[in-house]
Amino acid sequence: MPTFDKNESLGSRHQGDIAAYLHLIGDKEEARFFVPDAGGQGAAFFSRPYACTGMVLGFIAPGSSAKKITGISTVQADRSLVGQRIKITLDKFFVAKYPGYGLHSVLCQFSGKNQVPGETEELSFAMRFDARDNSSPAIAGAPIFMGLTVGPDGISFKGKTVNVRNSGDDMVMAILDTPAFKSGLTLLNTAQPALKPLTSLATATVSAIAKRNENAQIHTFELGLDFDGSATSARLRYGSYIVVQTDEGSNWDWSDYEWNANGMALHPAGKPSDSPGFNYMVFAVSPFSPASTAP
């Protein structure tokens, strides 16, 4: 199975190593933020969006046109979802800043588990897209896991992003443009032998690409969405989960931001024309209907 280790992210490297990577991909202007000054501290002290390794999680209620984003600690779990089949989709990916110039090629990998009678299926799914700084790729409702069965302890959902600068990986990533990947993993009520090679292919593809010198893991996160209601857990219910790449979790206040449901975008409160200075993803958890996947 894939590893989701934040120590493998670019932001976990020494400042000199980050600067060396940026020079390798030709981004000398950005590298200056990681070159120590006379005091021994680079300008990265003020943090670059792609160099953060932490996470903040927010929630938007389903069908809501309100601007309010709820802190995950106040979300109430919905135990009626135990045993139900759900779908998880990627509804938004915003790139505030990624290493390199121009168009960024981003590779995403997601992992989870499907509870079927007598067995737990390990899942791994990958997708790719292109985006420039301060923009989003043209995606909405991109399927990841379709028909995931919720267990008594909720679901485990992990993800990571890789900045791909090695042009030789284009052919390898073309695998992710095939129908088997474009349509997400559609799951059944019984174990599927065919899932194992598909999961292995996704894992091997991402692992090989992430190890290239010109490529780098940018962020990884893990969401344990459960029903126990403890003060430190994230609860599972239908709605949208916002995953923010940031190291400012201790100072975070969701009242500083609003969600534009029409434009499908996050922005500073009262400033709808402004973009946030951080990278973020939005995942939707919603009911699954087998008919929705029929030709």
In the chain, where the domains are located: 53-288
Label residue 114 by pLDDT band (50, 70, 90).
confident
Q: Is the pLDDT of residue 78 over 50?
A: yes
What integer is the mean pLDDT of 256-275? Answer: 91
Read off the pLDDT of residues 148-173 as tens digits, 9 standing for 90 and up.
Answer: 889 888 888 999 999 998 766 665 66
Percent of the chain with pLDDT over 70: 78
What integer is the mean pLDDT of 123-129? Answer: 85
What integer is the mean pLDDT of 91-116? Answer: 89
Which of the pair, 118 or 13, is modelled with greater confidence? 13
* DSSP string for residues in the chain: -----GGGBGGGS-HHHHHHHHHHTT-HHHHGGGS--TTS--GGGG--GGG---EEEEEE-TT--S---EEGGGPPP-GGGTT-EEEEEEEEEEBS--SSSSSEEEEEEEEEEEEETTEEEEEEEEEEEEE-TTB--S-SSEEEEEEEEPBTTBEEEEEEEEEE--GGGHHHHGGGGSHHHHT-EE--SS--TTHHHHHHHHHHHHHHHHTSTT-EEEEEEEEEEESS--TTSEE--SEEEEEEE-S-GGG--GGGEEEETTTTEEEETT-TT---SS-EEEEEEEE--GGGG--
Please tell me the predicted confidence (pLDDT) of residue 39: 47
Read off the pLDDT of residues 29-49 as tens digits, 9 standing for 90 and up.
Answer: 999 889 876 444 555 555 799
Residue type, 70: T
What integer is the mean pLDDT of 257-268? Answer: 91
Which of the pair, 184 or 214, is modelled with greater confidence? 214
